[in-house]
Structure 1
Amino acid sequence: MSSTLFDLSGKVAVITGSSRGIGLASARRMAEYGAKVAICGRKADACEAAAADINANPGSETGEAIAAPCNIGRRDELQRVIDTANERWGRVDIVMANAAIHPWVGSVLDLSDETFNKFMQVNVQSNVWLAQMTVPGMIERNYGRFILVASIVGLLGDPLTGTYGLTKAADMQFVRNMAMEFASKGVCANCIAPGTFKTEMARSQWEDPAMVAWYEQRNPSRRFGEVDEIAGLAVMLASSAGGYINGQTIAVDGGHTISFR
């Protein structure tokens, strides 16, 4: 590699929700830049397939992947992922918390306690758990990258997806708090806030002709995002190139959130 600016050789990354979509694209690119990556998703076979695919062509001499399936809403399973990475590679330098749930849409007046608690535990509390499990080691090594994948719905109001947006706004505040506490100790914490990307989670939007027409009119870029357009930013935030970016939320949305129309 001609430049070390984005070099991740010797770094270990745990990426949740990385058996497909944005998480898998980010895992591939981090391995390409030298990272060792734990692939985390709910389905073990999908994690194994994603890890095997990366290992077949990591793109670098040091890049490799292992499967570490888990449900991020269960603390013991998350701990097992971190333990697996530590046992295999002796450290966790990068956490990319990409997995989330969006099980319900509707008015806040119809929001049940059970649904709200599920949203919060999976989309917010799991990130707190990950920080508690990994940040102490990052501080010891004076290097850590904590990347949360939020959403532009955490920046905008919406009557139907507001509960999901509430959890993503909480993630944005969480990285600000982390930056204030850990920036002087070598740990950077930031959010990536995607717009609509061509992923399974958003399939109902990019396969809906009416939604496509609306998005093409509303979004300055006139298109949906491609997963590699998140992966590149993830590599930058994970590397030394991102060392002075801290506590930020970066919207990757084709200009959606800056458009008045």
Structure 2
Amino acid sequence: MSAFAWVLVDGVSVQTVSAFDRGLSYGDGLFETIRFVDGVAPLWSRHMQRLHESGERLRLPVPDAALLLREACVVAKGLDQAVVRITVTRGLGERGYAPPTLPQPTRIVAAFAAPAMAGDAYVHGICLRWCETRLARQPRLAGMKHLNRLEQVLARAEWSDPSITDGLQCDTDGNVIAATMANLFAVIDGVLVTPSVEHSGVAGVARAEILANRAAAHVGDISRKDLLRADEVFLSSSVRGILPVQAVDDTVYVPGPVTRALQRHWRGLGFPMEQA
């Protein structure tokens, strides 16, 4: 049975794309994973902003946001809690890396049942580990949610322990950047901080929402030593929300007032979540 509730490829209900699509051949494309609650995506505008800005950087035409919303609502119909993945590739092209002069993008809109935003993870926190796989520093691609996720795939393959929810990755200079599936925040010396994603990592929409809500937050380099002395650590994800971190390997943390306040903010946006 398909894992999808429904899939539309260029508006047609199929689950296949051409073997010659540049998204498959070269990872030439972008994607967004968007949480819907009762047919509404509270962070829709932030997702569309990132998609269009990334499209401009890649010189990749991006479909109209209104069209994407209509198709997202179609595939998510019948799901009270859905995650809609929108994928845009450069479409078909001749063999070789040179992009077509007039690309005809492929758009894929698929819906999945969303993970529950409740339980001990939101109250007591999750356990993380350090990953050996580093993130390359490439400012021309940094921040975008492009289709090449091999660094995250290799990092996620480093463990199979079900008690470990995610892993933290550093860049090749040793700076802490993010978890494999989420952005990282910490409270250090009373200041909310998050790593810069100017050279590697993804500029998450949940991260953008937090930074808009917390104007005094600091964006910059964070070392592993910095994280060791943090008072609070949490992850942000547009799909899973605000997840307190209970431990990173042997370093233990306790969810604090900043984490709890942002969890309340998240509920206020319209995302259901266990009370904390």
Under a length normalisation based on structure 1, what TM-score does the superposition of the two structures give? 0.25
More helix by share: 1
More strand by share: 2
Under a length normalisation based on structure 2, what TM-score does the superposition of the two structures give? 0.24
